[in-house]
Amino acid sequence: MVLAERCVLLSAEILKSQGKYSEAAALLIRLTSEDSDLRSALLLEQAAHCFINMKSPMVRKYAFHMILAGHRFSKAGQKKHALRCYCQAMQVYKGKGWSLAEDHINFTIGRQSYTLRQLDNAVSAFRHILINESKQSAAQQGAFLREYLYVYKNVSQLSPDGPLPQLPLPYINSSATRVFFGHDRRPADGEKQAATHVSLDQEYDSESSQQWRELEEQVVSVVNRGVLPPNFHPTQYCLNSYSDNSRFPLAVVEEPITVEVAFRNPLKVPLLLTDLSLLWKFQPKYVSGKDNEEVKELVKGEPEMIGTEVISEFLINSEESKVARLKLFPHHIGELHILGVVYNLGTIQGSVAVDGIGALPGCHTGKHSLSMSVRGRQDLEIQGPRLNNTKEEKTSIKYGPDRRLDPIITEEMPLLEVFFIHFPTGLLCGEIRKAYVEFVNVSKCPLTGLKVVSKRPEFFTFGGNTAVLTPLSPSASENCSAYKTVVTDSTSVCTALVSSASSVDFGIGIGSQPEVISVPLPDTVLLPGASVQLPIILRHTAVICTSRSLNVRATVCRSNSLEDEEGRGGNMLVFVDVENTN
């Protein structure tokens, strides 16, 4: 056998010198056997180099025989040579779409790197298995994840005080991140019906958003004597990928900031995130106007600066997309920058062997692998809209800023909540109804100058000092309708309906219809924690047409009565149906 090996090696070198790499590779492969793993590994590696050195390189045969050589090196106990062969083969298979082969190579590289205490390479190899769209079974994906968690935990223990590393799972759709400023509105309580407000449960509506913006601009211009301030920016409570995020949003001290993060689990096994919270840095500002140069990047937050909500458990099922709503509670004015999320990544399935290879020693094999969870972070990096205004921007690819995660915390402001009491769900044509509206100041600041803006101010009014002949006034018992019939012409039978309610009572003056109405607060101020109930008079629009108000149908039938002696029997029956179509 020794002579055969010597002859093959000499013949292979002679053939390679003559450029006959195919014949040399065949000789080397023919000599491999199960007797010696180390000798077979060397021969397979030399055969692989023959394939790559051909005039037309056979790249796939080179990679395949390098994998075979790495396997035989591993059986012979040569871990470094095995790792080298697999890494060289990986250069061929990477990015070619052979996901199963790529997963196998990465898994072996991770195992060999961990054995050689090359922990960073091991983490990188297992990471590639998890972030690629894998076609493995659920059991194999679960085992890959546990291998990664075990290796990752050993790496993190080497530098417990170091920065938190990036975790590959779950996927985060940063562009779908939404930010909401303010408290969650209280639901309806009994006869009270809370006024509608922007929330994260609503889908973005561009038309509705534009209407609210126009109303806000109108009331601001009225308050500023008909001029819209040049530095005016519309209020945005909810920021998303459709809103204007080019400016720094404003948040108020002691009012929560809710960040909705969209997660996606690409694996066929569930993921368990524990102690999930937001990662941020905050630069406080003081009343004197001098900024504090120290920037604190915290994980759990400091209660005196920013309170951080922590979700103890957040389960994402296999191949599921799920959103998490995380809150921050600012207690100081300054500049807040939301960087990302921090959490413990784990799985709830037990350990499963992969391709006959048992789990690494020390892996948790219970029902819930909570002991194998590792702590890490993921950054929220949002790309702004592409710029397309100037010629330079059109001819190049440039993106604008997206500052939805960089709010400026301002001082306390008044906060108003509105409730409707006995508010009707429907009105008849021309009907007038009385309801109540309650204004509550839930902030610690007094509220003044409260105004209401509406495109149709003629449909409501906050009470009035004049008594009108309507069903709402005591003197209206003689006429229970908001409209009365009058004769327009003494010679004509045509009638008209006119309202018995004065237009002044509904905020409509002669020749003008003010769309901004001041709310009559007691003493023109609403103190902190105080509430006030005001009557609101509602009137539906009247569309009345008195012409052709009767529908008459006549039917003639011959009478069945007998004729008299003189032969006169001209009797008939006339049926007249009269219907009021008003």
Q: What is the pLDDT of residues 402-417, one digit of tens each?
A: 888 999 888 888 888 8
The pair of three-digit structure tokens given for residue 488, joined into one six-digit string: 């327009």
533 and 562 in a single domain? The answer is no
Pair (51, 99) in one structural domain: yes
Residue 559 falls inside a structural domain: yes
37-66 pLDDT per residue, tens? 788 888 888 888 888 888 888 888 888 888
Identify whether residues 511 and 432 lie together within a single domain. yes
Tokens of 489: 């012409």
Whether residues 531 and 559 fall in one domain:
no
> What is the pTM assigned to this prediction?
0.72
Residue type, 211: Q
Q: Are residues 369 and 230 in the same domain?
A: yes
Pairing of the two strands 250-252 and 408-410? parallel
Q: Which residues pair with 340 in a beta bridge?
A: 279, 379
Do 297 and 339 fall into the same domain? yes
Q: Sign of the C-alpha dihedral, residues 370, 358, 125, 162?
A: positive
Domain membership of residue 407 (yes or no) is no
Same domain, 316 and 337: yes
Task: Give whole-number Cα distances, 103 to 106, 108, 135, 144, 360, in Å.
Answer: 5, 9, 9, 9, 18
Side-chain-side CA neighbours of 98 within 13 Å: the count stands at 15
Rounded CA-CA distance 248/405 in Å is: 9
86 falls within a domain: yes
Residue in the block written with tokens 């009572």: 505
Same domain membership, residue 304 and residue 331 = yes
Residues 235 and 115 both lie in one domain: no
DSSP string, 347-362: E-S----BTTBPPPTT
On the 0-12 / 13-18 / 19+ scale of CB atoms within 10 A, 327 is middle
**9 contacts: CB under 8 Å, gap ≥ 6:** none
Domain that holds residue 87: 2-135
DSSP three-state, residue 432: strand
For 399, residues 6+ apart whose C-beta sits below 8 A from its C-beta are: 383, 384, 385, 386, 387
- Strand 416-421's sheet: what is its strand order? 192-194, 416-421, 432-441, 531-539, 460-461
Rg of the chain on CA atoms, in Å: 40
CA 281 to chain centre: 22
DSSP secondary structure string, 17-85? Answer: HTT-HHHHHHHHHHT--SS-HHHHHHHHHHHHHHHHTSSS--HHHHHHHHHHHHHHHHHTT-HHHHHHH
Judge whether 406 lies within some domain.
no
Q: Are residues 103 and 196 in the same domain?
A: no
In a domain, 84, yes or no: yes
What is the rounded CA–CA span in Å between residue 451 and residue 443? 18
List the chain pLDDT tens, one digit each, 582 residues.
567 667 767 777 777 777 777 887 787 777 777 778 788 888 888 888 888 888 888 888 888 888 888 888 888 888 888 888 888 888 888 877 788 888 888 888 888 888 888 888 888 888 888 887 777 888 888 888 888 888 888 877 777 777 788 888 899 998 889 999 888 776 666 777 888 777 777 777 777 788 888 888 888 888 887 778 778 888 888 888 888 888 888 889 888 999 999 999 988 888 889 889 999 888 887 655 444 444 444 444 566 788 888 998 899 888 889 999 999 999 888 888 999 999 998 887 554 444 444 444 444 444 444 557 888 899 998 888 788 778 777 778 888 888 889 998 888 888 888 888 888 888 887 788 888 888 888 888 888 888 888 888 888 888 643 334 344 444 443 444 444 555 555 444 444 444 445 545 555 544 444 578 888 888 888 888 888 888 888 887 766 556 666 788 888 887 776 666 666 666 778 888 888 776
**Whether 572 contacts 556, CB under 8 Å:** yes
pLDDT of the residue at 258: 92
In a domain, 141, yes or no: no
* Predicted local confidence at residue 480, as pLDDT: 42
From the list 360, 339, 344, the residue with the least C-alpha distance to 312 is 344
How confident is the model at residue 512, as a pLDDT? 44
- The residue out of 135, 161, 184 marking a domain boundary is 135
> Cα(558)–Cα(219) distance, rounded to whole angstroms?
72
Beta bridge partners of 416: 441
Tokens of 341: 């999320």
Q: Do residues 534 and 555 share a domain?
A: no
Residue 91, domain CATH:
1.25.40.10
Q: Are 76 and 98 in contact (CB under 8 A)?
A: no
Asked whether 413 and 252 are in contact (CB, 8 A), the reply is: yes
Q: How many domains does the chain have?
A: 4
Residue 30: φ, ψ to 5°: -65, -25
Give residue 324's pLDDT: 92
The backbone torsions φ and ψ at residue 337, rounded to the nearest 5 degrees and listed phi first, read -130, 115
Using a CB cutoff of 8 Å and minimum separation of 24, what contacts does 58-61 make? 59/92, 60/92
pLDDT value of residue 355: 44
pLDDT given at position 187 = 67
175 by Cβ neighbours in 10 Å (0-12 / 13-18 / 19+) ranks as middle
* Residue 170 counted as domain residue: no
In a domain, 316, yes or no: yes
Same domain? 88 vs 206: no
